[in-house]
Structure 1
Amino acid sequence: MALSGTGKINNARELRIYENSDELRTEFAEYIAEISEAAVKDRGIFAIALSGGSLISLMRKLCEMPYNKTVDWAKWYIFWVDERVVAKSHQDSNYKLAKDGFLTKVPVIPSHVHSINDSVSAEQAAEEYEFLIRQLVRTRVVSVSDFSDCPKFDLILLGMGPEGHVASLFPDHPVLEETEVWVTFITDSPKPPPERITFTLPVINSASNVAVVVTGSNKAETVKIVTNDDVEPDRSLLPATMVRPSNGKLVWFLDKAAASKLDGVKFSE
């Protein structure tokens, strides 16, 4: 049962709230499939950037009927919004998580899956990943923003930590100030492993579509803070608050527990 309050729209941001994880998973798969179809129809390609965590388990619905047959998987080009600088076979690798849980179950073309170089330093991995994206922007695999020189991904998928981090952008970290590069690196992540690469905020906010998926009551207070429309984004705020696409659509997918402290949302009995 969907909850009253689902579909609330504020300044190009939409809150979708679901009774349970099964409903959220179903609607999330439909959302991705619709954006994929629209992008392929518009420009013949779908460029999507993934994060790790529970997002991948939610995407597994796309491995089932009808999506495994109806989605044009050959047109998908897959990137990572952030990645831990570990071996691709390491349990902390977002690539491994996506490969084991999703990519091996759908007919994505292997050469369209763009993971980081896991054999170099975090700094070099970030530089190489940005170079790769710049090459694909030149060949129009990835679009470019109308308002900046940033890449314009068709869809960026994010989770959110209890303290409000998205991608590998953590509260009060200097990389929140980064505006010159597309991909940066950190070596002091407050969550292990410490070395990571991450898209910068200008890249995330240049996407055509951004989805933030949050589940669990331990994140409810943070959800209330970061979805407050009366707060203007600035560098003193939580990273999730700074996710505001400049000319794109932002959708928050929330389960009942994560949305439990939102004002004005009435839950169905």
Structure 2
Amino acid sequence: MAFSGNKNDGRELRIYENADELSSILADYIAELSEASIKERGVFAIALSGGSLITLMGKLCEAPYSKTVDWAKWYIFWVDERVVSKSHADSNYKLAKDRFLSKVPILHSHVHSINDSVTAEQAAEDYEFVIRQLVKTRVISVSEINDCPKFDLVLLGLGPDGHVASLFPNHPVLQETEQWVTFITDSPKPPPERITFTLPVISSASNVAIVATGGGKAEAVHLAIDEVDPNWPELPARMVRPIYGDLVWFLDFAAASKIQCGTFSTS
């Protein structure tokens, strides 16, 4: 590890030399949270995003994790999903299945993907219903503050524009506070139709990790982490503020290259 530190607002920044080193530590982090959650609750409810994040989770498929993680206790969800067929190249489910789920013994019945045969609006309603049922049975915990689902871990990637999940800058869905899962039909990135967790759900998780690598993410990281002009629109990544949970940023040197010195202190 190259650097670890904390901002005054409780966000922890972990910065690594390259993506390979980051991937190794990310696997440790996820495995440790899994072990702690299973010991405390008997299950581990984790919500994934797509993109390069799934590749960076790849070391979990290797020893020792492939043998030591209690995969039968994992429950998989998606923070956001493109409303396309599960066999479509744009599907986050397909990406996770090909690069992660097919390589570890997670029970198929514990993998909760969206209904890909309905509209984006109906898919969001159906997905929220599934989550509500699993909150009732305590597979997913519930927040003591706002009655939102309290996932053990929400894993987020970061877009060059500062978006997380399918929450894009200046989009009205950022203001949604009533629904747990909502939908959009006008994503600035194709495909246009998506479902996504809302900000209150993401911020209710016990643990949130935002993972970014490469120089193409450096400006977004800077705008999400550093003190910036208050008149600038707030990036979705900056709006992720766990209520009582922990927020950790996993960055490589390139992604962290524009962070201002003195923004945070070592711990």
TM bucket, shorter chain: over 0.9
* 2:88 alignment counterpart: 90
Judge conservation of contact 1:176–1:235 (CA < 8 Å) in 2. no
Cα distance in 1 between the residues matched to 2:229 and 2:36: 32
Cα distance in 2 between the residues matched to 1:138 and 1:168: 26
Give the Å deviation of 1:211.
Answer: 0.2
* 1:253 alignment counterpart: 250
Cα distance in 1 between the residues matched to 2:58 and 2:207: 20
* 1:207 alignment counterpart: 205
Q: Secondary structure at the match of 1:6?
A: strand
- What fraction of aligned residue pairs are identical, expressed as a percent? 73
Q: Secondary structure at the match of 1:7?
A: strand
- Structure 2 regions of 5+ residues with no counterpart? 263-267
- Structure 1 regions of 5+ residues with no counterpart? none
Distance 1:227 1:147, change over 3 A: same
* 2:108 alignment counterpart: 110
Cα distance in 2 between the residues matched to 1:79 and 1:10: 31
* 1:148 alignment counterpart: 146
Distance 1:110 1:54, change over 3 A: same
* 2:179 alignment counterpart: 181
Give the Å deviation of 1:228.
Answer: 2.1
Give the Å deviation of 1:231.
Answer: 7.7
Judge conservation of contact 1:226–1:241 (CA < 8 Å) in 2. yes
Alpha-carbon deviations, 1:206-245, whole Å to 9, x = none?
A: 000000000111111221111125788x994110110110
Give the Å deviation of 1:10.
Answer: 3.4
Q: Secondary structure at the match of 1:162?
A: coil
Judge conservation of contact 1:10–1:229 (CA < 8 Å) in 2. no
Q: 2:127 aligns with which of 106, 126, 129?
A: 129
TM-score, normalised relative to structure 1: 0.94
Cα distance in 1 between the residues matched to 2:85 and 2:41: 34
How many positions carry a matched residue from both structures? 263
Alpha-carbon deviations, 1:5-43, whole Å to 9, x = none?
A: 423343221000000111100000000000000000001
Alpha-carbon deviations, 1:179-230, whole Å to 9, x = none?
A: 0000000000000000000000000000000000001111112211111257
* 1:46 alignment counterpart: 44
Judge conservation of contact 1:8–1:15 (CA < 8 Å) in 2. yes
Residue 238 of structure 2 is aligned to residue 241 of structure 1: yes
Residue identity opposite 1:250 in structure 2: L
Q: 2:21 aligns with which of 4, 20, 23?
A: 23
CA RMSD of aligned residues (A): 1.7
Q: Secondary structure at the match of 1:10?
A: coil
* 2:265 alignment counterpart: none
Cα distance in 2 between the residues matched to 1:145 and 1:8: 24
Judge conservation of contact 2:226–2:260 (CA < 8 Å) in 1. no
Judge conservation of contact 2:148–2:200 (CA < 8 Å) in 1. yes
